[in-house]
Amino acid sequence: MDKLNLKPGVLTGTAVKELFAYCKEGGCALPAVNVIGSNSANAAMAAARIARAPIIIQLSHTGSQFFAGKTLDNGREQASIAGSVAGAHHVRTLAGVYGVPVVLHTDHCAKKLLPWLDGVIEADEVYYRQHGEPLFSTHMVDLSEQPLAENIEIAARYLARIAKMGMTLELEIGITGGEEDGVDNRGVAHERLYTNPADVLKVYDALSPLGNFNLAAAFGNTHGVYAPGNVKLRPTILRDSQRFVEERRKTRPKPVSLVFHGGSGSPQADIAEAVSYGVVKFNIDTDTQWAFTHPIKTFMDEKGAYLLTEVGNPEGADRPNKKYFDPRGWLHIGEQGVTVRLLAAYDDLGSRDRFVF
């Protein structure tokens, strides 16, 4: 299989569709990292540059709000909308400078948060009229807590709207367990964490005629990282779902592009197996949060005696500590931690050195 040719910068339209199709056929997937500001966004693009692979950069509802600044009122989702737009412009400005292709995505979006996504899609539409492409590459709606019929109906409405700009929609069926971004699914009934292949067929039938979609079909995935044994992934649900659609609709193998939520802390074997069944996007958040914070803690512990006063440390009462407390120093340690963790994800997902750009 020839390497896929891509242009650096934010990918939109058919380039996104071709990228996911290539990953599915080639048996690799891309990390999708939640970013909350310039530090995490830049660390993600730095990882893509080293891995010679595209990166999926995604903004959640609260990640967008944080990007805008936590002091802003968000009563009408204005901070989350503006934060998403600001994050997108940040990435658009720098992706070419890093020389990497980026898929820009918004994460989740439960029913009550749809006004946030509506505002972001309005910004896509304005950008589309000016530039012939949307601001973002792809969006997600997450109606997994609603009945399946309502989930599909709302997803179809959003896909019809963004398909006019060539955009791909991600949706979720079954439920991702655990807790993330203010959504707590730790108490959800066990069987709801596992998708039924017949439901995948319903999604396929409803959405295929409308445009491109990626499906987060739950197979025991959980947001967050928990003690070993608490999470039981069953990737064979993905294989069975693909076969069910293939047999019923006489499609090519692996007709659905799948998304792996709650990738943090997952065993390598489960990741590889899920990718072999058509997972093209692997969400990682908890592990990159840890990768950012932990090396900063180590730094703070090791340099603790240099961080107590602006002047004065074990080398002398008049010695300045500026080079230790300048936030650029320790924030960059966090950025490097994220980059290193994402490089390990690329290795797990088999997507290094598969692209030319």
Q: Where does this chain bind Zn ion (CB under 5 A)?
A: 261
* Among 274, 167, 168, 265, residue whose Cα is nearest residue 217: 274
Q: Tokens for 346?
A: 């690329």
E strand residue ranges, the chain: 4-5, 9-10, 30-34, 55-59, 101-106, 138-141, 168-173, 177-180, 183-185, 213-217, 222-223, 257-260, 279-284, 311-313, 316-320, 355-356
User: What is the C-alpha separation between 201 and 192, in angstroms, rounded?
Assistant: 17
Q: What is the DSSP letter of 12?
A: -
Contact 81, 120 (CB under 8 A): yes
* Cβ proximity to Zn ion, 60 vs 351, nearer residue: 60
* Among 116, 38, 33, residue whose Cα is nearest residue 79: 116
* Cβ proximity to Zn ion, 63 vs 337, nearer residue: 63
* Among 226, 4, 233, residue whose Cα is nearest residue 103: 4
Please report how close the Cβ of residue 217 comes to Zn ion at its closest, in angstroms: 12
107 included as an active-site residue? yes
Please report how close the Cβ of residue 221 comes to Zn ion at its closest, in angstroms: 8
* Cβ proximity to Zn ion, 24 vs 261, nearer residue: 261
Beta bridge partners of 258: 215, 279
* Cβ proximity to Zn ion, 124 vs 180, nearer residue: 180
Phi, psi torsion values for 82, nearest 5 degrees: -65, -35
Please report how close the Cβ of residue 223 comes to Zn ion at its closest, in angstroms: 6
User: What is the C-alpha separation between 51 and 56, in angstroms, rounded?
Assistant: 13
Q: What is the DSSP letter of 108?
A: -
* Cβ proximity to Zn ion, 254 vs 261, nearer residue: 261
* Cβ proximity to Zn ion, 67 vs 260, nearer residue: 260
* Cβ proximity to Zn ion, 125 vs 181, nearer residue: 181
Catalytic residue among 2, 73, 107, 205: 107
Q: Tokens for 103?
A: 């898929």
DSSP letters, 264-289, are TT--HHHHHHHHHTTEEEEEE-HHHH
Please report how close the Cβ of residue 124 comes to Zn ion at its closest, in angstroms: 21
The one-letter amino acid code at 131 reads H
Please report how close the Cβ of residue 209 comes to Zn ion at its closest, in angstroms: 26
Please report how close the Cβ of residue 182 comes to Zn ion at its closest, in angstroms: 12
Q: Sheet with 177-180: list strands edge to edge.
A: 183-185, 177-180, 222-223
Please report how close the Cβ of residue 40 comes to Zn ion at its closest, in angstroms: 16
Positions marked active-site = 107
